[in-house]
Structures are given as C-alpha cells and as structure tokens.
Amino acid sequence: MPRHHMTPDGPVPFSASEEVEWDAREAFASEELRLRNLNDYQIKRAIEYPDFKDYLDGVVKQDQAQVNSYTAACLAVKAKYPKPV
C-alpha cells in the first residue's frame, strides 16, 4: 500500500522525495533499534558474568575444577543472553 498524508479531503500519496526520506528514516530507526539491542545484551551479560578474579584464582592455584566452573558460568550467561543477529 503506498504511503500517504491524510488531509481533510482524504489521502494524498507521498511524492517521490517524501518516499525516499521516509525510507531513510525507517532504515535509521531500524539500525538504532539493532544497536540498542546489541548494547542491551552486552549490559545484561556484563552484570551476570562471574568475577574474573575467580578464574585467575583458579589458574594461580592450578585448580582446573575452579577454572572449569568459571567457564561453565560464563557459557551459561552467553546462552541466557545470546548475541543478536
């Protein structure tokens, strides 16, 4: 359905330049939403990731179970908040 303005006399179709401007605005809004979602998953992950000091502590102590536990916790957060496509 073509885009149009509503006037007291009824709908008036967009001009070619108005169509181009509207398409550009829609593309901008779509990209803005994509970036907002991208940031959203990064923020959620950062809040829930375990403290990296736990990983370093496991490495220093050569405690593979602690390192594995840290890695599993990170992977669980990644699965909970997947990267948007």
**Model confidence pLDDT, tens digit, residues 23-40:** 999 988 888 888 777 788
Residues 6+ positions from 81 with CB-CB distance below 8 Å: 41, 44, 45, 48
Burial of 29 (0-12, 13-18, 19+ CB in 10 A): exposed
Helix, strand or coil for residue 14? coil
Predicted local confidence at residue 63, as pLDDT: 97
**Model confidence pLDDT, tens digit, residues 42-76:** 889 999 999 999 999 999 999 999 999 999 999 99
Q: Alpha-carbon distance 72 to 8, whole Å?
A: 63
Q: Tokens representing 6?
A: 């509503």
Predicted local confidence at residue 5, as pLDDT: 87
